[in-house]
Amino acid sequence: MSRIQTGEFGIVCASYIRQLPKELHQPLIHVFISVNSQGDYDDDEHLRRLIEVNIPRGDERDIKAAEKWGKRKLKKYYDVNFDCNVQIGVLADLLFLLNTNRKIMKTIKERKTSNGKKKDIRGLNS
């Protein structure tokens, strides 16, 4: 049984938050900390600081290794880290939805502007 440590958890969270737009970083961190809160201000503040510090450090080799190890530990010891997996899953779902929405909007924009002719979004009038 290996419970993930706060440092590894903060780095894994930062890896997902880093992929979202910058304007969402601070609000998302605050919401994430309030949902994750165990009532101990020092622990909450420590996790918040870990996430904030590690967001811009994503290209460093040791941070990448810590992300990889943290994700592996969450997967290997799923039952022990169930609460952490749920919280990481919410971040992953948010990232998936944002990326999907961006692709849809890009496709719509491309179809509207191609050949100066407005095309059917579903591709029926292509």
Tell me if 99 is assigned to some domain. Answer: yes
What 3-state DSSP class applies to 107? helix
Please enumerate in sequence order all residues whose Cβ is within 8 A of that of 16, keeping only pairs 6 or more positions apart, or say none.
88, 91, 92, 94, 95
What is the arithmetic mean of pLDDT over 66-73? 90
Tell me if 1 is assigned to some domain. Answer: no
Q: What is the pLDDT of residue 119?
A: 55
Tell me if 48 is assigned to some domain. Answer: yes
Tell me if 67 is assigned to some domain. Answer: yes
Q: Provide the domain count of the chain.
A: 1
Tell me if 119 is assigned to some domain. Answer: no
**pTM higher than 0.85 for the full model?**
no
Tell me if 77 is assigned to some domain. Answer: yes
Tell me if 59 is assigned to some domain. Answer: yes
pLDDT bin (cut points 50, 70, 90) of residue 21 is: confident
Full domain range(s) for residue 53: 6-113
Tell me if 122 is assigned to some domain. Answer: no
Q: What is the mean pLDDT of the chain?
A: 85
Ranking 34-38, 49-53, 90-94 by mean pLDDT, the lowest is: 34-38
Report DSSP letters for 114-126, one per residue.
Answer: GGG-PPPTTSTT-
What H or E segment, with its residue span, contains residue 46?
Answer: helix 41-54
